[in-house]
């Protein structure tokens, strides 16, 4: 088993290592779960979308 330090080094230096690691070390059902912080970011993105649409409605 690789230790965390080697993994972090590979994530930084090997292209696609993070995605590869997720594919090999997590099941599909584990990949369905996402972090709370990611959900918040999706919410922020949706808010930005609504602001842009309101701006379109006002100025177009």
Partner 1 sequence: MFEIIPLVIVLAFLFETMDSCAGMGFGTGLTPLLFVLGYEPLQVVPILLISEAVTGFTAGFFHNEFGNANFRLKKPINRETKVMLNIAIFGCLAIILSVFLTYYAIQLNKSLIKTYVAILVIVMGIIAMIKLKTNTGNYKPKLLTFFSGLAGFNKGIGAGGYGPVVMLGQIFSGIYEKTATAITSFSEGIVSVVGVGAFVFIPVIKNLPIEIDFLLLPSVFTGGFIAALISPYMVRIFPNKIWKIIIPIYALAIGIYVLAQLFIL
Q: Which is nearer to partner 1, 3 or 13 (CB)?
A: 13
For residue 22, give the nearest of 30, 13, 12, 34 by alpha carbon: 30
DSSP assignments along 25-50, one per residue: HS-HHHHH---HHHHHHHHHHHHHHH
Count of positions on this chain that bind partner 1 (CB under 8 A): 27
Site for partner 1 in 4-33 (CB under 8 A): 11-20, 22-23, 28, 31-32
Integer Rg of the chain from CA: 18
User: Which stretches of the chain bind partner 1, using CB under 8 A?
Assistant: 11-20, 22-23, 28, 31-32, 34, 38, 41-42, 45-46, 49, 52-53, 56-57, 60
């Amino acid at each position: 088993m690789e230790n965390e330090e080697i993994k972090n080094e590979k994530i930084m230096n090997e292209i696609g290592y993070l995605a590869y690691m997720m594919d090999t070390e997590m099941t599909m059902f584990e990949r369905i779960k996402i972090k709370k912080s990611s959900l918040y970011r999706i919410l922020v993105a949706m808010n930005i979308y609504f602001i842009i649409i309101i701006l379109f409605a006002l100025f177009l």
